[in-house]
Every structure is written in structure tokens, then in C-alpha cells.
Amino acid sequence: MKTLLFDLDGTLTILSEFPDLRLLIPKQDLLFLKGFYSFGLVTASPKMEALKALRQLSIYSLFERDIIITSEDTAQGKESGEPFLLAKSRAVSIVAMIGDSTADQTGSSIAGIPFISAQTLSVERLAYW
């Protein structure tokens, strides 16, 4: 199955709002997309913080465990492309990275993964991409 990658902070939630996290992409949209894609995560957050946020948001089960890439999984950060290349090596096929930062865009581009800005995300269009 094709995989969509997501950033965590600024895309799925705002981590600084912890413990009162809320989803920035409606859960019904995530569930709709889950019918077309598997989900991966590439985040600059530490693993425990990322997993805690996914669980608190009740979306942990939507993500493939081996495609949850955190700051502890690579020597270099997102802007190097290394975390995206690691995700790419663990997925059958990656469709796009949905993120909110220059690091998301630069790193995914280095890895050859199309970037979609979370601010302009069209769930309906992406479902039939």
C-alpha cells in the first residue's frame, strides 16, 4: 500500500499545547485518507514525546510502527533528508510528505518525496492522487 508521511508538530497538532492537544487535521479526514494509504510519521520530536502525542490524540493506531521516524532515529535532522530517506527505505511506496515547515519541504525534496503544505491540504484531491 502507498504511504503518506505526516509531520507531527504544526501539522497534526501543536505540541506546545500539551497536555491539551487537539488535532489540526480533522480525525474524519484522517480516517477517510486511511482508506487509500498507510500512514507514516517524520518528526523532529523525541520518540517518547511523539508516541505520547499520537496516543493522546487517539491516532496512534493509524500509523505504521516501523514508519514512525523521530529525532532519535537519525544522526541528522529533517533538513538533511536523512529521516525521509529512512522512512522511504521502510515503506513500499511513499506518495507525499504533509508538513508545515521549510525543513519538511527541503528534506522531503532531497529524498525525492513530493511535499504538500498542511496549510493547503485538500483531503479530497489527495485521496484520488
Is it the case that residue 43 has pLDDT exceeding 80?
yes
- Which residue, 58, 48, 69, is CA-closest to 21? 58
Confidence of residue 41 (pLDDT cuts 50, 70, 90): very high
Cell of 123: 483531503
Decide if 110 contacts 80 (C-beta within 8 A).
Answer: yes
Residue 126: which pLDDT band, with cuts at 50, 70 and 90? confident
Query: CATH no. for residue 25?
Result: 3.40.50.1000
Residue range of the domain that includes 53: 2-127
CA dist., res. 13 & res. 111, Å (int) = 24
Burial class (CB in 10 A: 0-12, 13-18, 19+), 68: buried
> What is the per-residue pLDDT for 129?
67
Q: What is the pTM of this model?
A: 0.95
**Is a pLDDT exceeding 90 seen at residue 71?**
yes
Query: How do residues 83-120 score in pLDDT, each as one tens digit?
Result: 999 999 999 999 999 999 999 999 999 999 999 999 99
Distances (CA, A) of 26 to 11, 20, 123: 11, 16, 10
Split into its structural domains, the chain has a count of: 1
